Amino acid sequence: MEKKNLYIQTFGCQMNVQDAQKMAVLLEASGYGTTDDPAQADLILVNTCSIREKAAQKIYSQLGRFRELKERNPHLLIGVCGCLAQQWGDRFFRRVPFLDMVVGTHQIHRLPEMIGELERAGGRIAETGFCDRVGSLEIPAQPAAGAVSAFVTIMQGCNNFCAYCVVPHLRGREQSRPLPEILREIEALAAQGIHEVTLLGQNVNSYGRALAEETDFTRLLGAIGKLPGIGRIRFTTSHPKDLSPQLIACFGEIASLCEHIHLPVQSGSDRVLKRMNRGYTAEAYRAKVAELRRVCPQISITSDVIVGFPGEEEEDFRQTLELMREVRFDNLFSFRYSEREGTAAVGMERPVGEGVKRERLSVLQALQAEHTLEKNRDCIGRQEAVLVEGANPNGSEEMTGRTRGNRIVHFPGRSGLIGKTVSVRIVEAFPHSLRGEAEQRGGADVH
Ligand code: SF4
């Protein structure tokens, strides 16, 4: 079979990165090998994201750059996949006339068939239907050669319908993978040398709800915790309303479960949380944080906040800052609210002006920067187990890895440490990372 080149550009979340790896695995069987150079490609796939307005704008401008390649090579096929493809469907052809293919979020497994059809008969194809069972969920992603960590999709879709969010509209309802299938994938990853897995899903806490077998997320964690070779388990993302006492208890019971949770709060005001349809109060959130810290005092807690949701008053915003001061998140991802087509928040009364949103975001980010630095400084003097991921990308003669609490650590070391867990004493703290010194035991590195 003649070898052809595939170039994939991915925007947005880790779920999209996973999907891109699955596309590469799928298309390998159709004779496509990946290339880093779009100019060499026979097929370009743009894996899109529509969570933020900015991402969508970037995607259109990137597609504009590929127009010239298509003019030079009329045999080049260009397709869009992911959330924006799902949202726009065949309307994408009007906006980007040189496009050949629009592939919805439930249609990835049909890529080889669609490309075969385009190669044979030409024309254009848009497939955006939802399926009862997402075919691509079953395809194991292929981590990069030499990687020490891998992401494993355990479920996709969401039933929650937060008022601002497009995910249930574009990824469909929750679907979970059967537990034995996930375990087989992780065993295979461990056999390839993967030491750390991050379990992925829009709301991993509700894993297993729609499966025929009786299972849940805590059982999955327990089963992975027993697999040899997997020293670290992480997961993302969790919904606070579904964070059960049993799941919190796992942080005290499963040795390989890392001491970090990403628990998006979105607002510290009950009024705003209600309008967002989040299903919990600020008090309930605080109680879950307190319980997490009781079970696992060293746990890192990170979160997401949206500022300027319609109807957010100064008092609501003040309550968000108050919650941040109480919880002191280790890190926080914060965003200005922007409207998403098809969501319940579209057209809600009392929209917040862009200037006010910008101002609130900068106040909030300044506060979080203080907290993050304080939390990083608290690490000075501690001995941390660091899983070494590679050389420090800034080019110095240092290695880079992560603590179990998900902090980035740089330390002097050699490349032979990649993939090993090294005991590092933290000596310096920065806004986004730590610096340390590796502990030597009898001249040997700690594994
Ligand atoms: S739980 Fe998360 S993915 Fe689901 S609707 Fe809410 S924000 Fe979106």
Q: Tens of pLDDT along 27-47? A: 998 899 999 999 999 999 999
Ligand 1 neighbour 99 (Cβ under 6 A): no
Residue type, 286: R
Our answer on whether the CB atom of 162 is closer than 6 Å to any ligand 1 atom is yes
Q: Which of 429, 354, 130, 288 is nearest to 280 (CA)?
A: 288
Report the pLDDT value the prediction gives residue 14, as an integer from 0 to 100: 83
163: DSSP letter: T
Q: With 80 as the cut, is the pLDDT of residue 53 above it?
A: no
pLDDT higher at 131 or 263: 263
Best substitution site from 160, 171, 273 to test ligand 1's pocket, by max atoms within 8 Å of Cβ?
160
Give CA–CA dist 410/331, Å, rounded.
18
Q: What is the pLDDT of residues 152-197, one digit of tens each?
A: 999 999 999 999 999 999 999 999 999 999 999 999 999 999 999 9
In terms of Cα–Cα distance, which of 276, 270, 332 is closest to 305? Answer: 332
> What is the per-residue pLDDT across 82-133, written as a single tens digit (0 to 9) for each?
988 999 899 999 989 999 999 999 999 999 999 999 999 999 999 999 988 8
Residue bearing the CA closest to ligand 1, atom 6 = 162
Q: What is the pLDDT of residue 440?
A: 67
Give pLDDT, residue 445. 38
Tell whether ligand 1 has an atom less than 6 A from the beta carbon of residue 333. Answer: no
236 lines ligand 1 (CB under 6 A): no
The atom number, within ligand 1, closest to the CA of 168 reads 5
Provide mean pLDDT across the span 238-247: 96
Nearest-atom number in ligand 1 for the CA of 161 is 5
Residue 193, phi then psi, degrees to nearest 5: 100, 5
- Name which of 373, 363, 424 is nearest 399 in CA terms: 424
pTM: 0.91
Distances (CA, A) of 87 to 14, 105, 157: 19, 10, 15
* Residue 443: pLDDT over 70: no
> Mean pLDDT over residues 399-427, rounded?
96
Q: What is the largest CA-CA distance in the chain?
A: 67
Region 357-365: what's the mean pLDDT? Answer: 98
Averaged pLDDT, 58-71: 90
| φ and ψ of 386, to 5 deg | -115, 120
Does any ligand 1 atom lie closer than 6 A to the CB of residue 203?
A: yes
Q: Which of 169, 202, 243, 333 to mutate to test the pocket of ligand 1 (most atoms within 8 A of CB)?
A: 202
pLDDT beyond 50 at 348: yes
- Look-up of token digits 């499966």: 211
Task: For residues 304 and 285, give the distance between their C-alpha atoms in angstroms, rounded to a whole number.
Answer: 13
| CA of residue 385 to ligand 1 center, whole Å | 33
Q: Is there a contact between 400 and 388 (Cβ–Cβ < 8 Å)?
A: yes
pLDDT (0 to 100) of residue 142: 81
126: which DSSP letter?
E
Q: Which residue's C-alpha comes closest to atom 2 of ligand 1?
A: 202
- Which pLDDT score, from 0 to 100, does residue 447 have? 37
pLDDT of 8 above 50 = yes
Nearest CA among 39, 52, 53, 44 for reference residue 10? 44
Which of 32-46, 60-74, 252-266 comes out lowest in average pLDDT? 60-74
CA distance 6 to 24: 8
Exposure string of 230-255, with b = 16+ CB inside 10 Å and e = fewer, is: bbbbbbbbbbbbbbeeebbebbeebe
- State how far the alpha carbon of 347 is from the alpha carbons of 180, 288, 310, in Å: 44, 33, 9
Query: Is the pLDDT confidence value at 446 over 60?
Result: no
